[in-house]
Amino acid sequence: MADCQRLFKAQHKLKALNSANNGAELAQVLQLHSMYTDRVLQDIRKEHGSWEILESRQARGVWDEIAIMHFRAAAADRTRDFIEAYKCQLACYNAFLRIFRNMTQWSVPVIYTLSHDLSDVAQRADRQLGSGGSQGGKLEEATRIINQGFSMCMTDREPLLDKTRKWGTFHMANILFSLYVRHKAYNLCDSMVRALKAAELPPMSQFPMSDQVAFKYYRGMLAFRNEKYKSAKDDLEFALEHCHRDSYNNKTRILVYLTPILMAEGKSPQSRLFRRYPPIKALYGELAKAARAGNLRLFDSLMQDKEQQLANAGTYIAVERVRRVVVRQLLRKIHGFSGQQSRVSFKLLCDGFMAAGVDVDVSEMESMLADLIFAGYLKGYLAHDHGLAVLSKQQPFPPLSSIA
């Protein structure tokens, strides 16, 4: 069996970086698409004419196994054999997990790199399998394996704070969140949020800001989906405020969920925000304009036109809440035209809606008013027998910011 001097040197380098506890450089070396990996593959090809020699190498220890499987995965990736690349990357990951449980905080960047690469090549393998008419499932398998890396971080028993793998918990959680969301496994996301809440971890404020922002985004998105809009707003506003200024795509994702929450509070997005984020303008711009004007007829028409778009974005139910703001705005206009009387007949209000192009009968009007009063958008009570809405003389339309 021919020796492979370049591979031997690479194996020695991995062992040396491990001995030096140099996690940052080790993570860079083990990236599938790093310059170092490219150079090693080029040298092996020059030395032996191909990469086939990698397939015959026998590992004499775990770091040899990690090195061989890493370069085999990279070679397969370069030849676009993503199924083989995934198989080798998975073997590399599993080999690293065997020693990761006995490592400390310095090794956390390595599990990040291996996790990102494993999920990426798993997606490519699934696409390749699908194009050939075969069933995928590689990404689901990869997710289960990455979860082991996450657990080894979160449950680390190392007592010294500067040595614990717990510092990798939120970064690994964010990788899993992205994978669970891709699978639409929101129940697993919710379970992970609960697990993180119960875990004994350092204060979140001490973790890297990038990890905090990503976690707040995912937790806010989950709260949004569960219609816990106050919690969602807090997390999403934090994520938006602390997101890197040049992270346009990430800010757009945050605004997809944050914008309808703010619209339901009567806070119309500023025009400069819509100019800066065209996808947000396309989704919500006309709706926000109709809400601000109290144009219920236009708002309802837009909701019907954009139903599929909003459903695809996962925000239809939240935007429906904005309808209360629009109805309230229209009622406020009618109340003003009527001389701001505290006792307003249902019939008068129906006539006002009719003038605005919205056909509403008395029973529907009574139902809308009851809903607004119950939700706190309107102060007063209904005199059903007299067909009247008796509004508060002091503040019939309380500030939207005061509504829970």
pLDDT, tens digit, 9 for 90 and up, residues 245-267: 899 999 999 999 999 999 998 88
pLDDT of residue 404: 57
pLDDT of residue 55: 64
Backbone angles phi, psi at 345, to 5 degrees: -75, 145
| Residue 389, φ and ψ in degrees, nearest 5 | -105, 120
What is the rounded distance in angstroms from the CA atom of residue 23 to the CA atom of residue 29? 10
pLDDT digits (tens, 9 = 90+) for 111-167: 999 999 999 999 999 999 999 888 889 999 999 999 999 999 999 999 999 999 999
Residue 214 three-state SS: helix
The pLDDT of residue 235 is above 80: yes
pLDDT of residue 7: 82
Reply yes or no on whether the pLDDT at 1 is more than 50.
Answer: no
CA distance 31 to 45: 19
* DSSP codes of every residue in 180-211: HHHHT-HHHHHHHHHHHHHS----GGGS-HHH
Neighbours of 152 (CB within 10 A): 21
- Give the least confident one: 3-7, 154-158, 173-177, 304-308: 3-7
Average of pLDDT values for 216-232?
96
Indicate yes or no: pTM above 0.85: yes
Separation CA 208–CA 302 (nearest Å): 41
Residue type, 354: M
Which pLDDT belongs to residue 134? 86
3-state SS class at 382? strand
Spatial separation of the C-alpha atoms in residues 320 and 401, rounded to whole Å: 18
CB proximity list for 34: less than 8 A, separation 6 or greater: 28
- Determine the pLDDT at residue 43: 87
pLDDT at 196 over 60: yes
DSSP assigned state of 345: E
pLDDT of 189 above 80: yes
Two tokens, residue 163: 């040595």
Which residues lie closer than 8 Å to 361 by C-beta, 6 or more apart?
A: 350
pLDDT digits (tens, 9 = 90+) for 18-32: 999 999 999 999 999
Could you tell me which residues come within 8 angstroms of residue 355 by beta carbon, excluding any fewer than 6 positions away?
none
Continuous segment of H or E residues that includes residue 391: strand 388-391
**Average pLDDT over every residue of 47-73:** 78
Strands 388-391 and 343-345: antiparallel
- Cα gap 121→338, rounded to integer Å: 66
Least confident of 66-70, 152-156, 393-397: 393-397
Q: For position 48, what pLDDT does the model report?
A: 66
What is the model's pLDDT at position 140?
94
pLDDT 10s digits, 299-354: 999 999 999 999 999 999 999 999 999 999 999 999 888 777 889 899 999 999 99
Summary mean pLDDT of the chain: 92
Give dist(CA 27, CA 138) in Å, integer: 23
What would the mean pLDDT of 164-193 be, rounded to a whole number?
Answer: 95
